[in-house]
Amino acid sequence: MCVTCNNITDDGWVKLINQPFIEIFKNHNTRKLRRFVRYLTGSRDGHVGRCVIDHDWIQLLQQWLSEATKQQISSLPKQLQDFGMKNLATNMEQRIKRIQDEVHLCRNHFL
């Protein structure tokens, strides 16, 4: 992902990571991941007990990510690991670290 320091300081790292996270989740489209998204978003409507149509769970995830705090985003890798998705957790953890490193570099650049 290519961003400028202005993007990072204006939008914050949480907003910048939303689209890459959506793409990661789309590439790991499994029943377990769809259950995780329902768990994460608190979606207990008519989808429980049956497969969620692909775009339904992606919409749930997009909405959750758009409202998520830094703390919630930072805790995603641990939650994924606890849910049994270690590889996805590692991937997301690495992406969060890279973005946070960029934030740190940008902040030091302006000092």
How confident is the model over 57-111, as pLDDT tens digits?
A: 888 888 898 888 889 999 999 999 999 999 989 988 998 888 878 777 776 654 4
Computed over every residue of the chain, the mean pLDDT equals 78
Domain count, the chain: 1
Range of the domain at 39: 5-109
The pLDDT assigned to 102 comes to: 77
More confident residue, 46 or 106: 106
Instruction: Label each residue of the chain as H, E or C.
Output: CCCCHHHHHHHHHHHHHHHHHHHHHHHCCCHHHHHHHHHHHCCCCCCCCCCCCHHHHHHHHHHHHHHCCHHHHHHHHHHHHHCCCHHHHHHHHHHHHHHHHHHHHHHHHCC
